[in-house]
Amino acid sequence: MKAPKRESSDPKAAESTLEGVRSLDSQAERLLEQRLYERVLNSYSNHLEKRKRRVRMWRVAAIWIGTLMLIGGGIWSTVSMHNKASNEKPVLQVFSSTNNTKRICLADSTVIILRPHSTLQIGADYNLIERNVMLEGNAFFEVKKNKEKPFIVRSKHLETTVLGTRFSVNSPIDGGEHSVFLEEGKVRIRIDDEQHLLAPHERIVYHEAIKKWEINKLSDVNLDMQTGALTLDGVDFATLRQCLDDYYGISLTHLSGRATRVRYKITLKPQMSIKDVAALISTISARGTIINQKTITIK
């Protein structure tokens, strides 16, 4: 078997091979250099063009992103303003009375008799989540029963919470005695940080000047929620005095002890003047009366 033929490593043979290749003349070299330069230039121009296109794309993208951010910001601002507006307290319904009594029937069939020179504020969302009202002055309430939504009357010093009942609240704007009289049902009264429960025909009075309160019993007192008339069926002098104060804001005093021994059977109507009230008291007590502004004195 023959061994493979080995290639010659003779330097002379390699040199003779290189000598067989023709060298480029100067014109060909210039042409080659020019082509290489054009190829490099074209490659660099293409690189610059791609870079410019990328820059233009980023600019367009930045414009669109900015526009979307502005639109989004406007939408967010609108939503925020809407949410802020929805979180704000709704507009109040304000009822006020001047010289006459006003009868108000609420959406839940609760009836309120607003006494003269009194103001009642009721939220526009009343009975949706809660049943809260604000009172300045004097009012009678016949509350529709709802165990899940207690009825709350807030006044200057008192907060009265009920489920369903008939009661009156007297909260004078200019201070003095603040009171709640319960005719029917049960109510919880909060005076500042203290709480009290009232039973039927009980009256709680808060004396603003001395910051003291008291509870007393009023019997034989009935209120007609249709007409606002208050009927006293043989009450004593103390009960009459308290009812006159709550109902009319009239103070009642006496000069003779005989006036305190009389039982008063009287019906007080919303339209009655202090002269009419004094005339009735005078007839029942068989004593003359003196009127001085908002005070009736039995002789």
- Per domain, the residue ranges of the chain are 92-217, 221-298
- Other CB atoms within 10 Å distance of the CB of residue 24: 10
Token pair 């319904």: residue = 93
**pLDDT tens for residues 106-153?**
989 999 998 888 899 998 889 988 899 999 988 989 999 998 899 999
> What pLDDT, on a 0 to 100 scale, did the predictor assign at position 86?
45
- Other CB atoms within 10 Å distance of the CB of residue 239: 21
- Other CB atoms within 10 Å distance of the CB of residue 221: 21
In CATH, the number for domain 92-217 is 2.60.120.1440
> What pLDDT, on a 0 to 100 scale, did the predictor assign at position 228?
78
> What pLDDT, on a 0 to 100 scale, did the predictor assign at position 55?
59
In CATH, the number for domain 221-298 is 3.55.50.30
> What pLDDT, on a 0 to 100 scale, did the predictor assign at position 159?
92
> What pLDDT, on a 0 to 100 scale, did the predictor assign at position 68?
58
DSSP assignment letter at 261 = G
> What pLDDT, on a 0 to 100 scale, did the predictor assign at position 248?
82
Long-range contacts of 264-268 (CB under 8 A, 24+ apart): 264/232, 264/234, 264/235, 264/236, 264/237, 264/239, 264/240, 265/232, 265/233, 265/234, 265/235, 266/231, 266/232, 266/240, 267/229, 267/230, 267/231, 267/232, 268/229, 268/230, 268/231, 268/232, 268/243, 268/244
Low-confidence ranges of the chain (pLDDT < 50): 1-8, 11-21, 76-77, 79, 81-82, 84-86
